[in-house]
Structure 1
Amino acid sequence: MSTPETLTLTKAQGVWLVAERELGSKLRSKAFLISTAFLFLVALGAVVWGGFAAQNTAGHPIAVAAGAEQYVDGRQGFEITSAADAAAAEKLVSSGEVDAAVVPDASSPTGFALVVEESPSTSLLMSFAVIPKVTMLDPSSTDEMLRYFIAIGFGLVFMLSAQVFGSTIAQSVVEEKQTRVVELLISAVPTRVLMAGKVLGNTILAMAQILVLVAIAVVGLTVTGQVAVLQGLGTALVWFAIFFLFGFVLLAALFAAAAAMVSRQEDIDSTTTPLILLIMAPYFLVIFFNDNPVVLTIMSYVPFSAPVGMPMRLYLGEAQWWEPLVSLAILIVTCLAAIALGAKIYENSILRMGGRVKLGEALKG
C-alpha cells in the first residue's frame, strides 16, 4: 500500500500562490472594482475637459509680421497687432504686449512659425488649422497653470494608489492575524514567502491601475488634439511608471511589516500612520513647490518622494539625462533595504498575539 506524497512548493510557487490569492480577493471585491472604475472615469473626464478648454476660442493677442498675414486671415480667436518684420514681432512678444507672434518661416512645412516667450498654451495652438513650428524665446519656462495641474496629477495618483493598496495590505495582514488564518498559511508556506506574495499581488494591481491611467492620458490627449501637452509629458509619464513600481514595493513591504506588529484592526493606525504621512508629504510638497527648483531637486533624490519629484523635473526640463538613473539607483537600493527590514519585522511579529509589538522587539526577534 503506497503512502500519499506530500506536495512541496518552491519559494517562487509559494509567492505566486499567495499573490493569486490577493489578486482574486481584490478582483472579487465590488468596492474595489467600483472605486477603480470611478478613478478611470475621473481621469478620462479630466482629459476631455482639458480638450474642451484647449479649444476655447477666446481672443489671443498676437503679433503678425509682414508677409504672414495670410496665415491668420479669416481665423477667429485672435487679437492681431501688425508688425513691420519678424524682429519687431519678437520684440512685442518679449515685452509681453502679445502672447505670440506669427512670422514667415521657409523651413517650416506650414510656411510660418509661432514665436512665444515660453511654452505655448494648447488653446493657442488649436486656433490654427495645422500645428505650426514653435520657437520659444525662453524654452525653460512652462505654462504655470498647466504645470500646477500636472503637479497635482502626479502627486494625487501616487498618493491615492500607494495609500489605497498599502492600506489593503495592512488590513489583510491584521485580518489574517486576528482570525489566526495566518497560522494555517504559514504551515503551508514560509513567513517571508507569505509577505512577498502579498506585496507582489498588490503591486501587480497597483501597476495595472497606473498603466491604465497612463494609457487614458496618452489616448485622451491624442484624441482631443492636445499634442503639445503630450509631447512635453510623454517622457515624464514613462519615468513616473518606472519610479512608481519601485516606490510602491518599498512602501508595500513597510506596510506589511507595520501591520504585523498589531493584532486588531483598531490598532492599525498606530503603526501605519507614519507611512501614510510619508505618502502624503510628496503630494503637498509638489503642489506648493512645483515652481521651486531646489525643493524639486531634493524631492527627486529622496526615495519616498522621487516617484513624484523626478517625473515633475523631467516634465519641466530641469533634470539632466543622468539624474533619473542616479535617482532610480538610490530608490532601488532603498527598496531592497526596506524589503529586508520589513521581512525581518514581519517574520518576528506575525505570530505574536495580544498587544502591539514594539519595534525594538520586532527587530530583535
Structure 2
Amino acid sequence: MTLDTSATRTSGRSDDRSTPGFVETVRLISGREITMRMRSKAFLISTGVLMLAVLASVVLGSVFGSQSELPKVAVVAGATDVVEGNPALEAVPAADQDAAEQMLRDGDVEAIVAPAASEPLGIVVLGLESTPNEVVAALSVSPTVELLDPAAVDPMLAYFVAFGFGIVFFMSALTFGTTIAQSVVEEKQTRVVEILLSTVSARALLTGKVIGNSVLAFGQILAIAVLALLGLMLTGQRVLLGGLGPSVIWFIVFFAIGFVMLAALFAATAALVSRAEDIGTVTTPVTMLVMIPYFLVIFFNDNPTVLAIMSYVPFSAPVGMPMRVFLGSAEWWEPFVSLAILLATAALAVVIGERIYRSSLLKTGARVPWGEALKS
C-alpha cells in the first residue's frame, strides 16, 4: 500500500512537471520579449520622441492654421465700397489721408486704399517701402476658373499624409525588425539558443519572438494613431479628421499583418549568420522591402497608377491602400481583396521563414547559404 501510494505521488509530481505545450511556450517567450523591450531605455525614449513628434505636428498645424490673419488695410472715406465685403482683406477705417499714412508708418496696417478719381478703378493703393502684392491681388478681378478633373484632396495635404504613413511604417518596421534580427544573432553567438532548444522547439521560439515584437509594434502604431486623432479632435481640425479617420484604421490593420510577415523574414535571414557584424548583409533584402514603399509613396503619392499597384503588392500594401482610401480612389471592396492577398503572403512568408530559421539556428561559423537553409 505504501509503495503504491508513493508511486502514485511520484507519478503525480511527474505530471505536474511535464513540459509546457506549444501555446504556453509561445506565451512565455513572447512575454519575455515584451518585458525585455519595455525595460529598454532606448525603446522607451524612441517611443516617447515619436509620440511627441506626432503630437507636435498636429498642434503646430493647428497653431499655424489659426495664425493666418487677413492683411489689414487703412480705408479712406470714398474707397469703402471697394474694400467692404472683400473676404481677403480686413478694413480699418481712417479719418483722412494723413491718419491713414500715420497708421501705415506705425505698422498698424499693410497698405492704404484711398479714392482717386483719375484712376480707372477709382482707387489707389499706397504702400510703405514695397508694393503690397497681397493687397493688390485681393483687389484684382480674377476670371472664374473651372477644373475638368478636380482633385478630391489638396495636393499638399496628400503629400503630408503620404509622408506620415510612409515614415511611420518605415521607422516602426525597421526598428522592430532590426531588434528581432539582433536578438536572434545574439542568442546564436552566445550559444544561448542551444539551451533554449533543449526545452522548446524552434517553431515555438520563432513564434514567440514574432508575436512579442509584433504586439509592441502594433501597440506603438495604435498609440500613434489614437494620439494623432485625439490631437486633431482637440485642436478643432474636424474636417481633416473626417477624411483621415478611415484611412488610419486601415493602416493599423494592414500594418499589423504586414509586420508579422516582415518580422518572420527578419528572424529567418538573421539565423543565417553567427556574428552581429553580418546582420546588415543578410537582412538587406528585407530592409529594401521596407524602404521601397516609403520612397514610392513619397514620390508617387499623386500618381493613381503607381498607388493602385502598390495597394495590391503585399510589401507596399500597408501604405498604398490606406493612401488610396484617404484620396477616395479605392472602391469599397478593394481593401478587403488587398488584405486577403497580404494574409496569404504573410502565411507563406512565415512558413518559409520558419523553415530557414529552424534549419540554420544551430549552424555556426560561416554564413549558411540560402539553398542549404531551404533544403535542410
- Normalising by the residue count of structure 2, what TM-score does the alignment of the two structures yield? 0.77
Deviation at 1:160, TM superposition (A): 0.3
What is the CA–CA distance in structure 2 between the aligned matches of 1:92 and 1:8, rounded to whole Å? Answer: 81
The residue matched to 1:301 in structure 2 has which SS?
Answer: coil
Q: Equivalent residue for 2:277?
A: 266
The alpha-carbon distance between structure 1 residues 362 and 59, as it changes in their structure 2 partners (threshold 3 A), is same
Q: Equivalent residue for 1:172?
A: 183
**CA deviation map 1:59-117 (0-9, x unaligned):** 49xxxxxxxx989699789987799xxxxxxx95535xxxxxxxxxxxxxxxxxxxxx7
Q: Equivalent residue for 1:219?
A: 230
**CA deviation map 1:159-205 (0-9, x unaligned):** 00000000000000111111111111112211101000000000000
2:353 to 330, 337, 342: 342
Q: Equivalent residue for 1:120?
A: none
What is the CA–CA distance in structure 2 between the aligned matches of 1:222 and 1:139, rounded to whole Å? Answer: 28
Q: Equivalent residue for 2:95?
A: none
Q: Equivalent residue for 2:23?
A: 12
Q: Equivalent residue for 1:183?
A: 194
For these two proteins, the number of residue pairs brought into alignment is 310
Q: Equivalent residue for 1:100?
A: none
2:145 to 69, 91, 94: 94
The alpha-carbon distance between structure 1 residues 161 and 147, as it changes in their structure 2 partners (threshold 3 A), is same
8 Å contact kept, 1:54–1:226: no
Deviation at 1:10, TM superposition (A): 1.4
1:41 to 47, 52, 58: 52
8 Å contact kept, 2:70–2:90: no
What is the CA–CA distance in structure 1 between the aligned matches of 2:236 and 2:284, rounded to whole Å? Answer: 42
2:242 to 204, 228, 231: 231
Deviation at 1:52, TM superposition (A): 1.1
Q: Equivalent residue for 1:141?
A: 152
The residue matched to 2:257 in structure 1 has which SS?
Answer: helix
1:330 to 341, 344, 352: 341
8 Å contact kept, 2:89–2:138: no
Q: Equivalent residue for 1:23?
A: 34
Deviation at 1:328, TM superposition (A): 0.4
The residue matched to 2:53 in structure 1 has which SS?
Answer: helix
Q: Equivalent residue for 1:243?
A: 254
State percent identity of aligned pairs. 54
Q: For 1:12-161, what aligned pairs fall within 5 Å after superposition?
A: 12-59=23-70, 94=145, 140-161=151-172
RMSD: 2.4
What is the CA–CA distance in structure 2 between the aligned matches of 1:94 and 1:216, rounded to whole Å? Answer: 39
Q: Which runs of 5+ in 1 are unaligned?
A: 61-68, 84-90, 96-116, 118-136
2:330 to 306, 319, 322: 319
Deviation at 1:8, TM superposition (A): 2.0
Q: Equivalent residue for 1:359?
A: 370
Letter of the structure 1 residue corresponding to residue 145 of structure 2: S
8 Å contact kept, 1:140–1:317: no
What is the CA–CA distance in structure 2 between the aligned matches of 1:152 and 1:250, rounded to whole Å? Answer: 22
Q: Equivalent residue for 1:111?
A: none
What is the CA–CA distance in structure 2 between the aligned matches of 1:196 and 1:297, rounded to whole Å? Answer: 32
The residue matched to 1:147 in structure 2 has which SS?
Answer: helix
Q: Equivalent residue for 2:303?
A: 292
Letter of the structure 2 residue corresponding to residue 43 of structure 1: V
Q: Which runs of 5+ in 2 are unaligned?
A: 1-5, 72-83, 92-133
Deviation at 1:53, TM superposition (A): 2.0
The residue matched to 1:188 in structure 2 has which SS?
Answer: coil
The residue matched to 1:310 in structure 2 has which SS?
Answer: helix
Deviation at 1:206, TM superposition (A): 0.2
Deviates more, 1:157-166 or 1:175-184: 175-184
2:292 counterpart of 1:281:
yes
Answer with 1 or 2: which has the greater Rg.
2
